[in-house]
Structure 1
Amino acid sequence: MIDFDAAVALILSAARPLEVEPVLLESAGERVLAEDLKARGDAPRTAVSAMDGYAVRDADLTTLPARLPVAEVAFAGRADVPVLPPHSCARIFTGAPVPLGADRVIVQEIVGRDGDDALFETAPGEGRHIRAAGSDFGAGEVLLPAGAVLGFRAMVAAAAADVATLSVVRRPRVIILGTGDELAEPGQALETPGSIPESVSFGVAALARQYGAEVIARRRLADTPETLEAAAGQALDDADLVVVTGGASVGEKDFARAMFAPFGLELIFSKVAIKPGKPVWFGRANGKWIIGLPGNPTSAIVTARLFLAPLIAGLAGRDAAALLKWRDMTLTTPLKPCGDRETFERGRLVAGGVAVLNTQDSGSQKALATANVLIRRRPGAPGLSVGKTATVLDF
């Protein structure tokens, strides 16, 4: 059994990006760029209007009021750049190319119309309302660096680069194997005597997707060695990472590690001195990563956040270490002394700091819906009163 920091170090050493693949822009959301994304051209390609209004020369407005004939009309999408004749103006709309010769665009709200003439009675002010060519970015400029996660804001910049495909890190393919004869699919447990709804794999699958994985299967398995070994072999063939829930203790039907033995299981760690989640384990077989999570729901999800999340993030090209950055916050409820194992209490952010949840049972499921931080407690740490500082991690 190893301590938490040692286990994290082993996880981070394994969390290296997978290979690169090209994807269509429309499929690139939440993926990680494998190389710098450079713009194909200037934006805007030519000077364009920032407002709906009238393009004019300053020299034609030296004396007010002024009347100028509307010689051109420019809409966004116009392919050519019009030329503004002397002593005239152009009706122009947002995004349209500014006519050559124009010095500014005057907003339409302060311009009158009399047939084909525009009437200017008010001084235009300092704003020119023109976006210069290349004022957003220039051709060849890096809009997004390698390693950037293509979230909703970054996708706008990616599309603006005028590229159809992007080079991204391949998402790790994950298979989740839930073990336990007592488990039934949600919706069937009440009709099956002696069973409980299988809940852990749904939370693990959601977590895996959140941190960059492609969950290709979620399977519930009976506790028979033959069934488990067959499922393990199939999962190792299909996935980059196999997550096993349950079967990690020392009971007569705890086969989670044994099911991978025929495939050359190499254990990297077998237990971690933490609470909850002591039975969590990590290994490799047939060149694929395997994480074993405890069967108790809270234990499984806590260890998934601490170990599975950074592993998946790293494989997907994200910053794995960033998911394990703890911060100090003020307690709004007291903390009891810690026992002999490093402990991760579940808490919730509240006004003024963080509150410890009343329920800390490893089998609790309702409390998971309200917890959003883990509070780290060192072995033997004394109790802490309200107003003291605790170390927390987003959960």
Structure 2
Amino acid sequence: MPQTVRVNVRAVANAAAVRKTKRNGRDVIIVPSATMPDDVVMNGSQGKVLYPADEIANSYRQLERTPAPLGHPMVNGKFVSARDPEGINLGYIGAWNENVRQEDGRVLLDKVIDVEVANRSEGGKAVLAAIEAGGPIHTSTGLLCKLEPVQNNKTYAKIARSLVWDHDAILLNEEGAATPEQGVGMLVNANGESEEIEVINSSLTDVLDQEIDYAGHRLVEALTRREHAGVWERIKTAIMDAFVGTEREPSVNRKEDDMAVSDEQFKALSDEVKTLSESVSAENLGKAIGEAVANAVKPLVDAQAEITANQKAKDDAELTELREKIVKANLMDEAAAGELTLNAARALAPKAEPGQAAALNGAFKGNNDKKAGFKLPAGEKE
């Protein structure tokens, strides 16, 4: 039979996006926050627990209009519901959760704090002061669920089912990722009696996948700022494909003269980056990617250098040949021809073809001397 537990999931609110407004003539502060990514795996007292995307999607709306107490309410050393009368008396500071939604595989919500009500308690004043100071504001979602055991799975030992969301608390000077042994909770059973249940305290900030995701996004942003096309565009596409998991074609058209990178070279690079994403730790992710990309790029850079050198040799040979033709056609002397660039020599080359050379004296018209007004000396015939 699945075990019922209470889970407190710590996260960090977006303090930079805090905004102030008025509702019904009253000052309120709105603090955006987030919790529970799809298919997140977090630590539990009996092994890691998977929180499936479908279970989250089917239940997260329960957080709408729930209390946002200061800390998780405790009565006689035991966690209680934030909607329990004693829980309300202990933790209510005039704050609640609303605008609960799912975006990009994560549950997002706003905490609305009534400034006047918050100023009636020391805890509420402390929260307002923390927000005004601009420091990090931690939050923690309290929910109930049933843990379903899983056999022969290396990633997680249990699956969370039947999620019941109770509240999303504000934390100040409180460690939200304590060990499970540091607290128990109370649950009213079907007979109306209270029973103790295990409490699992977890933290999204400790999830390795989140750290890798953060590093990956920063990497993609850095690569996007690159101005180089060709080879680097392909490398960027390969890295993005490896982390995002898409199967799209590279974004750069494969032209014959596009840096002359073969399909085999590009595949080797893509495979190396994909292997990297599966094997490196979050701490060494940036360094490892840098080294792997550098190693993977080297053959491509060397190949391009060789292509450039070969092309230069061809251009030099062509320029030498064109200069010789121009000198032989008496268009320029050797010194002047030696100053010509390849493009200039190509433009002048057609005039060096037999029968195309320009006359040395532009006034000389050959057999058209009559039309030019040229008269033969006296006594000579045409």
TM (norm. structure 2) is 0.20
* Bigger strand share: 1
**Structure with the higher helix share, 1 or 2:** 2
Greater CA radius of gyration, 1 or 2?
A: 2
| TM-score normalised by length of structure 1 | 0.20
